[in-house]
Amino acid sequence: MPTVLITGTSSGFGLVTAVELAKRGWDVIATMRDVAKRKPLDLELAAAGVSSKVRVEQLDVTDAASIDRAVASLDLPNHPLDAVIHNAGVAVGGAFEDLDDEHVRRVMEVNFFGVLALTKRLLPSFRAQRRGRIVIMSSEAAFAGLPGNSPYGAAKWAIEGWAESLAYEVEHFNIDIILIEPGAYRTNIWESSPRVLPKTSAYYPLLRHLEVTVDAHVAKTARDPIEVAKAVANALESPRPRFRNPVGPTAKIMHFTRGKLPSTTVRKFFSRFFSLNKVRW
């Protein structure tokens, strides 16, 4: 059976993707930064009857020693790895001027540099076996900038630029790069991400308005993350996977219009969408 390593499986897309792939017969190495948080995954695996298909390992993509231990546990090349899914991700909400460097760097370290570090460790094995699939959980945030979310948007723009460049280099070795670009889905990133909204901030009226508006939008439109898990599984099992895979109606619309409209037009659209004209400065 094919084998896949997934990062960030304690919740959200990583958890449901691990279950979906195990149900489809994949051997899954489900990794998470803190294995003490594995219970939700264990419960879902047991309910689906696929616990034996999944092995849980500790992996912090920002820690080189942790990456080395996780890769060593794979026992490559004796047990070939068919794919890796870079799902681990974090975000922070707030105006850029209000954010500490620590907040910004954490988002970049997990969402961007962590992907690069783990990929670099796995590429020699993929090259040697002349096959492999590298799946990157991106976002519709890679299609257009959004207010109060600049570090996350920057990380997703960066990872997509890196992925598109890497695709040229690894194509000869039959290694596929696959971007999954979801819209709004019901995951705990909305609750777990820090929000920096100091009342003394010059941007407080905007941030408070966005907090209420975005929360209402997510509550109303966020979809079942199983859709994303199925999109990942379908891409992995496709004979010829697409490079970009927007998932969900808003992501597909933004994907279609990407690069076709001037940035000023896009900003005007989102200003209306988020009713920014109602902000009382």
Residues 244-254 have pLDDT tens digits of 999 999 999 99
Provide the residue ranges of all domains of the chain, joining segments of one domain with +.
3-278
| Structural contact between residues 246 and 160, judged by C-beta atoms closer than 8 angstroms | no
Q: Answer whether residue 1 shows pLDDT above 90.
A: no
Cβ contacts of 275 within 8 Å, gap of 6 or more: 209, 213
Query: What's the CATH number of domain 3-278, 3.40.50.970, 3.40.50.720, 2.30.30.30, 3.60.15.10?
Result: 3.40.50.720
pLDDT digits (tens, 9 = 90+) for 193-245: 899 999 999 999 999 999 999 888 888 888 999 999 999 999 999 999 999 99
pLDDT at 54: 98
What is the C-alpha to C-alpha distance for residues 266 and 257, in angstroms, rounded to an integer?
9
**190 contact partners, CB below 8 Å, separation of at least 6:** 215, 218, 222
Question: In Å, what is the CA distance from 89 to each residue of 13, 68, 113, 191, 233?
Answer: 10, 20, 11, 13, 19
Q: Could you give the residue numbers annotated as active site?
A: 152
Given a cut of 80, whether residue 189 has pLDDT beyond it is: no
Average pLDDT over residues 119-140: 97
| pLDDT score recorded for residue 210 | 92
